[in-house]
Structure 1
Amino acid sequence: MNSIELIRLALDLPNNWEVKDIEFLGDDSQSLHITTCYTRKDKFVNENGTEIEICNFIDRSFRYKNLFQLTCYIHCSVPQILDEDDNIRQVKTPWSHY
């Protein structure tokens, strides 16, 4: 198992999300920076399995819980969709429940 697979399991990412890069930054490499992406560029599949058209992506960084005793940050281009009222909203990321 390589480090990207290990991080993917630790984050419990669904199939449409993938880990693109892992970096150790800071003094003595004390923080873990994970770059993820949503793999589909046209449709977002919500928790009900409904496909919703993606209108754009927004770059975001999230402070995640510590992994392997390291401060952890997740960097991602998060999909934005039109809701039922035609308002643009950011989708809920898989790690947002922490």
Structure 2
Amino acid sequence: MMNSKEIFGIALGLEPPWEIQEVEFKEQGENNIELHIRIGFEQGSKFRDPQGNLCKVHDTIERSWQHLHFFQHRCFIHCKVPRIIHRDGKVRQVAVPWSRSGSGFTLLFEAFAMALIEGEMPVNKAARLLGIYPQRLWNIFGYWISIAYSNDDPSGIRYLGIDETSAKKGHDYVSIAADLEAGRVIHVVGGKDKTTIHSIKTYLRSKHVKPEQIEQACMDMSPAY
């Protein structure tokens, strides 16, 4: 029969040399219990640098991440993350498999957070459900949107649409470029003057879109456009 450490290790998808070292429920006030999981690594373990070289552990640094709720309890993961000496002599922190670099959340937590937003749940409501401040949820959203944006490939566009819309009350506008054939937004830039058109043009060129491949363009007859 598996013990609790083995069960949580499977739930977190851990593989050697990573292992669950401690599982503890902590009372944080009346009717408020948190689950804290400590992850470690086998003594004598070596970790690979970006070039694939196995390196001994130089030292460790304490890190914590918020994870998805286990049962009805908020869950936090703690780990003394190893640092190794690379071939260039610099000491760098090892990448952990459960979180991206610089994040205070696990990848599964961020995936669930993005699923809530994609399901059109308001950010404030989603943040309450996750037990975090709305700004932290916006930070998660901004990171993954930037990744998706940088990996986007609009190089097959033939029909380009450009229009402006009000970003908020007053005269604060953003201009939107869309692939009319695919029915999706490909670029957004602040403003609605000629500099926005130059920005859209520069972006499309950076994505290897040639002017001659645009068969049709739909936009306002504004002098700026």
TM-score (norm 2): 0.39
Checking the alignment, whether the CA contact within 8 Å between 2:16 and 2:41 is kept in structure 1 is no
Q: Which residue of 2 aligns with 1:70?
A: 73
* Equivalent runs, 1:23-34 vs 2, <5 Å: 23-25=24-26, 26-27=28-29, 28=31, 30-34=33-37
Name the Cα RMSD after superposition. Answer: 2.3
Aligned with 1:92 (options 90, 95, 98): 95
Structure with higher RCO (Cα < 8 A, 6+ apart):
1
Q: Does 1:51 align with 2:39?
A: no
CA–CA distance in 1 between the matches of 2:69 and 2:32? Answer: 14
Task: Quickly say closer, same or farther: Cα 1:85–1:76, change in 2 above 3 A.
Answer: same
More helix by proportion, 1 or 2? 2
Bigger shift: residues 70-79 or 21-30: 21-30
Q: Which residue of 2 aligns with 1:13?
A: 14
CA–CA distance in 2 between the matches of 1:69 and 1:93? Answer: 26
Q: Matched residue pairs, number?
A: 98
Q: Which residue of 2 aligns with 1:80?
A: 83
Q: Does 1:37 align with 2:40?
A: yes
Checking the alignment, whether the CA contact within 8 Å between 1:14 and 1:94 is kept in structure 2 is no
Q: Does 1:2 align with 2:3?
A: yes
Q: Percent identity?
A: 37
Task: Quickly say closer, same or farther: Cα 1:11–1:46, change in 2 above 3 A.
Answer: farther
TM-score (norm 1): 0.81
CA offset at residue 58 of structure 1? 1.3
More strand by proportion, 1 or 2? 1
Aligned with 2:64 (options 61, 66, 69): 61
Larger radius of gyration: 2
| Stretches of structure 1 lacking an aligned partner (at least 5 in a row) | none
CA offset digits 1:6-52 (Å, max 9, x no partner):
10011111110111111111233521100111113352246986421
> Residue 82 of structure 2 aligns to which amino acid in structure 1?
P
Q: Which residue of 1 aligns with 2:198?
A: none
